[in-house]
Amino acid sequence: MGLGRRLYRGEIDVDFVGKWKLWYGLSGFLLIVSLAGLLINGLNLGVEFKGGSVFSFKAPTATIEQVREGFRDQGVHQPIVQTAGDRWRVTTETLPENTSLAVQNAIAKDYNVPVSQVDVQSIGASWGGEVSQKAWIGLGVFMLAIILYLSMAFEPKMALAAIVALLHDLVITAGVYAWSGFEVTPATLLGFLTILGYSLYDAVVVFDMIKEVTAKLGTTSKQTYSMAANNALNHTLIRSLNTSLVAILPVAAILFIGTTVLGAGTLKDLSLSLFVGMIVGTYSSLCVATPLLVTLKEREPKYQAIAKRLASQSGKGAKSAAVAKG
């Protein structure tokens, strides 16, 4: 409580902007690892995107290995087996109708269930491709809307910094999926769109405070743009951290309790993207978006002049102190 109060009052000044090399280095490392995962492993796309067959049935006494071997015995090459309690969901490549019927009958026989209780769903590759196309279109429209909004509400450089932070969050979250092998489903895409909105909200809060503080900078200002932006960031730090913590805790409960205890697979698809994205989004709004904005703004003649004047005054002050001491 004492630390939070001191941060809010500005009694503790964390130099986020001054440590930009550290943040850029950390982000660069995470991006390289994420891109490596995407290139090496790729994303484990769900049947909704690449097409295939889905078998759903109830088998309380079965094990994952038994279910997997049962499908392989029917000529299925790479069955993806998921369980939720005593309910099984097995995803396969697209199967011919006669093979699909044979697998359905084998499941009914192996686990002593009526054939009518073995649900089979076939999804064509063309439909999956259409879903993927619409997902990319939706993402593109969302990003365009963000650029327009930020450019009108703030300025183009703030919009650019926010977009870079959003792409940063997307790539790292996708990298986690690539290395973990978690399946990417429509629920995952919903999570991706949610974290984009969340990350944008966090960046807008920070940028709004920066805009308010830096608007007062003039030719006689005693602060550079970097100093003013860092001060604004520290004043919004507690709000950002509190908002993130309140949002992350229930998502963590869904991810770790809902999927492990309750066995809800759809919750896993949604909650993992939210959990990773919220953590990365909070980090990027503080340590990526703001330092990048400062880097862009400090190149403007107005703020370069302020920085030179303050540096000159600081140099003269240090020289006078040295003379007096000597």
Give the model's confidence band at 34: pLDDT under 50 very low, under 70 low, under 90 confident, else very high: very high
pLDDT digits (tens, 9 = 90+) for 152-198: 877 888 888 888 888 898 899 899 989 988 878 777 877 777 777 77
Decide if pLDDT at 317 tops 70.
Answer: no
What is the per-residue pLDDT for 35? 95
Give the model's confidence band at 40: pLDDT under 50 very low, under 70 low, under 90 confident, else very high: very high
Who wins on pLDDT, 2 or 119? Answer: 119
Among 192, 208, 149, 212, CA closest to 281: 192
- In 215-300, which ranges are continuous DSSP H helix? 225-253, 265-284, 290-297
CATH 1.20.1640.10: which residues of the chain? 15-45+127-314
Give the three-state DSSP class for 56.
Answer: strand
CATH 3.30.70.980: which residues of the chain? 52-123
Alpha-carbon Rg for the chain, nearest whole angstrom, is 27
Who wins on pLDDT, 92 or 323? Answer: 92
C-alpha dist (Å) from residue 171 to 28, 95, 124, 273, 284: 11, 33, 28, 12, 12
Instruction: Average the pLDDT over 3-27 and give the result.
Output: 76
Cα angle 285-33-274, degrees, rounded to a multiple of 5? 45
Who wins on pLDDT, 94 or 67? Answer: 67
Who wins on pLDDT, 54 or 12? Answer: 54
Architecture of domain 15-45+127-314: Up-down Bundle (1.20)
175 neighbors 257 (Cβ within 8 angstroms): no
What is the per-residue pLDDT for 319? 42
pLDDT digits (tens, 9 = 90+) for 104-148: 888 888 888 888 888 888 776 666 567 667 777 877 887 788 778
Write out the CATH class of domain 52-123. Answer: alpha beta
